[in-house]
Amino acid sequence: MQHTLEWKVRIHLFEDDEGTTNAHLVLDTGTTALTSHGAAHCHPADANVPEIGDELAAGRAMNALAQQLLKAAERDIQGMGTSRPGGREVSGWPT
């Protein structure tokens, strides 16, 4: 039987009073929710392009979420008492 799931990701982007674009990300797996955050601030010498701030903040939040997922997978593998093939780290396993 094939294993199929659908996880939902919500990203809320907003700019604060100092001009920093913030991203709040929530991953809902159906059984748990993980959250992460990212931020981007436009340098005063750069052109103000809101889309770039959105992309940077969201990308940083997604990167933080990815790190959380990899750490959770490593904990789960260790919890099963199984050894890693060749002693490799989980993050080095092919995906």
pLDDT in tens, 19-78: 899 999 999 999 999 999 999 999 889 888 999 999 999 999 999 999 999 999 999 888
Which superfamily does CATH assign the domain made up of 8-40+49-81 to?
Rv1738 (3.30.160.240)
- Cα dihedral 2, 70, 12, 49, rounded to 10, equals -120
Instruction: Measure the CA–CA gap between 93 and 82, rounded to whole angstroms.
Output: 15
Q: Tell me how far apart the terminal alpha carbons of the chain are, to the nearest angstrom.
A: 20
pLDDT exceeds cutoff 50 at 95: no
Confidence (pTM): 0.79
Tell me the backbone φ, ψ of residue 52, rounded to 5 degrees.
-70, -45
Instruction: Measure the CA–CA gap between 79 and 36, rounded to whole angstroms.
Output: 24
Instruction: Measure the CA–CA gap between 90 and 79, rounded to whole angstroms.
Output: 13
